[in-house]
Structure 1
Amino acid sequence: MATAKVVYASMTGNNEEIAEIVEEALENANVSVETTEISQADPADFEDADICIVCSYTYGDDGDLPDEAVDFYEDLKEEDLTGKVYGVCGSGDTFYDEFCKVVDDFAAIFEQTGATKGADVVKVDLAPEADDIANLEKFVSEIVAKQQSL
Structure 2
Amino acid sequence: MKSILMIYASMSGNTEEIADILENELQKFDIQLTREQFDIEEPDPLHLKMYDGVLFGTYTWGDGDLPYEVEDYYEEMENVTLESLKVGLFGSCDSMYPKYGEALDIMRDQFQKQGAQIVAVPLKVELDPEAEDARAARELAHTLMQYLEVKVTRIS
TM-score range normalised by the length of the shorter chain: over 0.9
1: CA distance between counterparts of 2:137 and 2:66? 21
Aligned-pair CA distance for 1:29: 2.4
Alignment of 1:67-78 (within 5 A): 67-78=68-79
Matched with 1:80 is 81
Matched with 2:2 is 2
Aligned-pair CA distance for 1:38: 2.2
Alignment of 1:1-150 (within 5 A): 1-39=1-39, 40=41, 41-60=43-62, 62-148=63-149
Aligned-pair CA distance for 1:30: 2.2
Runs of 4+ aligned residues of structure 1 deviating over 3 Å after TM superposition are none
Equivalent AA in structure 1 for residue 49 of structure 2: E
Equivalent AA in structure 2 for residue 14 of structure 1: N
1: CA distance between counterparts of 2:25 and 2:44? 23
2: CA distance between counterparts of 1:18 and 1:76? 24
Structure 2 unaligned segments of length 5 or more: list them: 151-156
Q: Contact conserved, 1:5 with 1:35, CA < 8 A, in 2?
A: yes
1: CA distance between counterparts of 2:18 and 2:140? 12
Q: Contact conserved, 1:15 with 1:91, CA < 8 A, in 2?
A: yes
Equivalent AA in structure 2 for residue 59 of structure 1: W
Aligned-pair CA distance for 1:18: 1.2
Task: Calculate the aligned-residue CA RMSD, in Å.
Answer: 1.3
Equivalent AA in structure 2 for residue 4 of structure 1: I
Q: SS of the counterpart of 1:95?
A: coil
Q: SS of the counterpart of 2:149?
A: helix
Structure 1 unaligned segments of length 5 or more: list them: none
Q: TM-score, normalised by structure 2?
A: 0.90
Q: Deviations over 1:67-100 (max 9, x none)?
A: 1111111112221111110111111111111110
> Could you tell me the percent identity over the aligned residues?
32
Structure having the higher helix fraction is 1
Q: Contact conserved, 1:26 with 1:32, CA < 8 A, in 2?
A: no
Equivalent AA in structure 1 for residue 17 of structure 2: E
Equivalent AA in structure 2 for residue 113 of structure 1: Q
